[in-house]
Amino acid sequence: NAQANLSNVQMHLDLIGDIPPIYCEPNQLKQVFINILKNAIEVMPDGGNIFVTIRTLDQDHVLISLRDEGIGMTEDKLKRLGEPFYTTKERGTGLGLMVSYKIIEEHQGEIMVESEEGKGTVFHLTLPVRQNAEERRIDE
């Protein structure tokens, strides 16, 4: 939030309907959100908005969408997102999104990215809704 304020970026959260709890490692997911939000802030040097929408996708999944009003990406850049050491930044390591993809994969989730040059980027994270560990063991 502090970095967003310094960069004149406003964050908007929209929770649609009842969002079920998800079974996850909270610190790992926090890292994913920090990586994506930090990238979004950095692609809006003159400020702008980030819209975060959370809703139930179906009875087994929650969808979290993070949309920025940044510079967007070409199809070529989009295809390479998440590759180790691939970065579009002058001082980036190319590891933030790679780690994020790995964390979401380990949570049996999925990341889909939409982007259009000059219009911004949307990261869609789909995460499974889990019951407690006891119930999960019975199902598996």
Mean pLDDT over 37-50 rounds to 92
Mean pLDDT over 94-115 rounds to 90
Asked whether residue 100 carries a pLDDT value surpassing 50, the answer given is: yes
CA-to-CA distance for 60 and 110, rounded, in angstroms?
13
Give first-to-last CA distance, the chain, whole Å.
Answer: 40
Q: Are the beta carbons of 80 and 43 closer than 8 angstroms?
A: no
CA 116 to chain centre: 17
pLDDT of residue 112: 94
CA-to-CA distance for 81 and 17, rounded, in angstroms?
31
CA-to-CA distance for 34 and 97, rounded, in angstroms?
10
Give residue-wise pLDDT tens across range 83-96. 776 676 666 766 78
Q: Are the beta carbons of 31 and 24 closer than 8 angstroms?
A: no
Mean pLDDT over 76-83 rounds to 78
Q: Which residue segments constitute the domains of the chain, with CATH numbers given?
A: 2-132 (3.30.565.10)
Between 23-32, 41-50, 126-135, the lowest mean confidence (pLDDT) is in 126-135
